[in-house]
């Protein structure tokens, strides 16, 4: 699991179990668009729905750290490309 961001309360959470397939935590209430975010010190264009609040981020992290699984109460999308630079 990787968690990045934090500026203005926007976080990007992704998980991979094999370094080939990635699962991104998403907020499905957000529109299909992109926004510039700084993640890991690098600016990139991310889907707005990949930008989640701290509560979703912490719930995902807690479940993953306790069970090694994705939280089934949260929304996840499989995506092999996390960012367009």
Q: Answer for the pair 11, 52: CB distance below 8 angstroms, yes or no.
A: yes
Q: What's the pLDDT at 11? A: 96
* pLDDT tens string 7-22: 999 999 999 998 888 9
Instruction: Say how far apart CA 54 and CA 84 lie, in whole Å.
Output: 23
pTM above 0.85, yes or no: yes
* pLDDT tens string 59-70: 999 999 999 999
Q: What is the average pLDDT value for the chain, to the nearest integer?
A: 92
The answer for residues whose C-beta is within 8 angstroms of residue 45's C-beta and 6 or more apart is 34, 35, 36, 83, 84, 85
């Amino acid at each position: 699991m990787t968690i990045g961001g934090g500026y203005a309360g926007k976080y990007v959470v992704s998980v991979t179990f094999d370094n080939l397939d990635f699962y991104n935590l998403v907020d499905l209430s957000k529109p299909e668009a992109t926004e510039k975010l700084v993640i890991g010190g690098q600016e990139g264009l991310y889907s707005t729905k990949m930008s989640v609040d701290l509560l979703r981020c912490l719930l995902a992290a807690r479940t993953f750290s306790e069970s090694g699984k994705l939280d089934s109460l949260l929304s996840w999308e499989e995506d092999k490309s996390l960012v367009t630079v």
